[in-house]
Amino acid sequence: MTPPQLPQELIEHILSFLLPLETIRLHTLSRGMQNLLKSHPFAKRCLARQLNPPLPVKNTNPTTMDRSWFILPHPFQELYAQLCYAETREIRWRGKGLCGRVPAAIGFCTGLRYLSLAGNNGLGGACVPRELGRLKGFEVLYLGNCGFVGGIPREVGELVRLRELSLRGNALTGVVPRELGQLKECRVLYLDCNMLRGTVPKELGMLKKLDTLYLRGNLLEEVLEEGFDEGGVVFGLLRKEGFMINRDIEE
């Protein structure tokens, strides 16, 4: 005799008492179970039992749920960001041993002004999420020494209020995006110790407020792009880094 099956609504209700991280182990039971546990309705019900939102405006010590955020299915990540980080202005999680990858759902944390995830090597092997470009209020972004791969997203250039940007000490490839020249408020820019190639784009010369620039430790050409503003502050900083213009070679 086949045992009666429980209604899906009842199964969802029972499983929602589990911690979100515990539900991941049940994904292998069946495709139907996996679809249930990755659905937005289940994520909403499960999180509603676990959370006491919103989190503090300044978050310096990640909770167990904060750590889970980097490895949970996307619906959980999205809802967690919307429920808990709506009022958060600063996340300072430097060297906290975080593992997983920075969620695309970071784009829902629209109140963020300061984000530091530097020194979390467990985030390595993933790309810098392009969704960061949605956070127009960003002023400080530290993502150094995390092991990120891939290119620097062009969308970072949309963070027009950004004052400090660090992507140093990763494994980033590709070129320095021209869009970084849009960061008119930027004073500090660390792109050193990656695997960036090509020439330094002349658009960086538009960063009139820049006073700290590190590009060394990449595979960049030492001759600057034709048309670089030789009278600007960025040109002087690049000179100190050992970069040249064509005239230097000719002489």
Among the candidates 16, 34, 50, a domain finishes at: 50
pLDDT for the residue numbered 72: 94
Are 45 and 62 members of one domain? no
Checking if the pLDDT of 47 tops 90, the result is no
CA nearest neighbour of 120 among 90, 152, 94: 94
pLDDT for the residue numbered 36: 84
Are 37 and 77 members of one domain? no
Among the candidates 12, 32, 50, a domain finishes at: 50
Are 69 and 103 members of one domain? yes
Are 160 and 67 members of one domain? yes
pLDDT for the residue numbered 151: 97
Query: What is the CATH number for 91?
Result: 3.80.10.10
Are 140 and 191 members of one domain? yes
| DSSP tag of 103 | -
Q: What is the tens place of the pLDDT at every residue in 153-182?
A: 999 999 999 999 999 999 999 999 999 999
Band of residue 1 on the pLDDT scale cut at 50, 70, 90: very low
206/229 Cα distance (integer angstroms):
8
Number of domains into which the chain is organized: 2
Q: Is the dihedral of CA 198, 188, 63, 59 positive or negative?
A: negative
Are 129 and 194 members of one domain? yes
Are 151 and 238 members of one domain? yes
The burial class, CB within 10 Å (0-12 / 13-18 / 19+), for 227 is exposed
Residues whose CB is less than 8 angstroms from the CB of residue 17 and which lie 6 or more positions away in sequence, other chains included? 49
Q: What global pTM score does this model have?
A: 0.89
Q: What is the tens place of the pLDDT at every residue in 62-82?
A: 999 999 999 999 999 999 999
CA nearest neighbour of 117 among 149, 76, 156, 146: 146
41/46 Cα distance (integer angstroms):
9
Are 160 and 131 members of one domain? yes
Are 110 and 211 members of one domain? yes
CB 39 within 8 A of CB 12: no
Domain of 11 in residue numbering reads as 1-50
146/93 Cα distance (integer angstroms):
12
Q: What torsion, rounded to 10 degrees, do the Cα atoms 214, 187, 162, 128 define? A: 0
pLDDT for the residue numbered 248: 55
CB 73 within 8 A of CB 98: no
Identity of residue 240: K
Lowest mean pLDDT among 13-27, 71-85, 103-117, 202-216: 13-27
Among the candidates 27, 50, 73, a domain finishes at: 50
Cβ of 51: how many Cβ atoms within 10 Å?
15
Distances from the Cα of 136 to the Cα of 49, 84, 104, 112, angstroms: 32, 19, 15, 9
Cβ of 49: how many Cβ atoms within 10 Å?
11
Q: What is the mean pLDDT of the chain?
A: 90
- Where are the strands (E) in 86-245, listed by range? 90-92, 114-116, 140-142, 164-166, 188-190, 197-198, 212-214, 219-220
Identify which has the larger pLDDT, 184 or 229.
184
Are 24 and 118 members of one domain? no
Are 100 and 184 members of one domain? yes
pLDDT for the residue numbered 143: 98
Are 17 and 63 members of one domain? no
Rounded mean pLDDT of 88-108? 96
Band of residue 2 on the pLDDT scale cut at 50, 70, 90: very low
